[in-house]
């Protein structure tokens, strides 16, 4: 993916957050020191009701489009994503996991509202990786399914903050794993696609059950058709991508 240009911010300004905020937050997280919550996203009108979608929803395979503008409605979506993430007891949530085909994700390694650091990464790019580390992962779009995933131990990544500033940071540990997991989502890749064949075989019955449930709900008219999903994606992309 080519590098996205600067973000276009509307007149509804979010709380100013400089490079030092993100760098200090990331440093604390990397060292395992989770302080009190510092909110990056200002409150906004929530004009879209979101919910976490489950595998094999087509949007999860969609390569998300870079965000070109941030407005009050998008900030409302971001705030709602944090609420959904906490309710599902997660630590990261990508936009396409709530059906939004845009390149951003939210993250809080504490996994609880009022704790840790709430971070928003817009148009993230991983430019360099080093080392290797295997650990168990799960996914809010495949709740209850877990498996080992081998990933680089350290990554250099860059992203935009909600106020339009760009930053670059080297991270490791759980922070690096979460960044890679969520960035994969934005590229249409789920963690089960990173698992080795033997490990995937062990959880295949659970994955198959999600596919059966999806098809049943679709046949009952309880999930949108591919045409409806595409129309919604086109509307969102026309406004923000």
Q: What is the DSSP letter of 91?
A: S
Partners of residue 151 on adjacent β-strands: 133
Question: In this structure, what token pair is assigned to residue 95?
Answer: 């936009």
Is 181 labeled as ligand-binding? yes
Q: Looking at 80, 117, 118, 182, which residue is catalytic? A: 182
If phi over 0 gives left and psi between -120 and 50 gives alpha, with beta otherwise, what is residue 185? alpha
Dihedral, CA atoms, 167, 30, 13, 50, nearest 10 degrees? 110
Is 139 labeled as ligand-binding? yes
Is 54 labeled as ligand-binding? no
Is residue 182 annotated as part of the catalytic site, yes or no? yes
Which sign does the torsion angle of CA 201, 131, 167, 8 carry? negative
Binding-site residue numbers for Fe cation are 139, 181, 185
Binding-site residue numbers are 139, 181, 185
Enumerate the active-site residues: 182
């Amino acid at each position: 993916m080519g590098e996205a240009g600067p973000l276009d911010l509307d007149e509804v300004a979010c709380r100013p957050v400089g490079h030092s905020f993100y760098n200090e937050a990331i440093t604390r997280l990397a060292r395992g020191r989770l302080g009190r919550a510092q909110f990056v996203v200002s409150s906004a009108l929530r004009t879209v009701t979101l919910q976490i979608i489950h595998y094999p929803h087509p949007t999860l395979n969609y390569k998300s489009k870079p965000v070109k503008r941030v407005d009050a409605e998008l900030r409302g979506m971001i705030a709602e994503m944090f609420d959904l993430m906490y309710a599902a007891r997660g630590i990261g949530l990508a936009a396409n996991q709530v059906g939004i085909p845009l390149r951003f994700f939210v993250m809080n390694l504490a996994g609880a509202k009022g704790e840790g650091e709430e971070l928003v990464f817009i148009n993230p790019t991983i430019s360099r990786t080093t080392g290797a580390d295997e650990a168990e992962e799960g996914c809010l779009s495949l709740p209850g399914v877990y498996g080992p995933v081998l990933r680089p131990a350290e990554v250099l990544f860059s992203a935009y903050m909600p106020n339009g500033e760009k930053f670059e940071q080297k991270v490791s540990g759980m922070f690096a794993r979460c960044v890679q997991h969520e960035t994969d989502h934005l590229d249409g890749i789920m963690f089960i696609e990173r698992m080795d064949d033997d490990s995937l075989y062990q959880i295949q019955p659970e994955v198959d059950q999600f596919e059966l449930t999806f098809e049943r709900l679709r046949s009952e008219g309880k999930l949108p058709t591919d045409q409806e999903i595409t129309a919604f994606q086109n509307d969102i992309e026309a406004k923000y991508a």
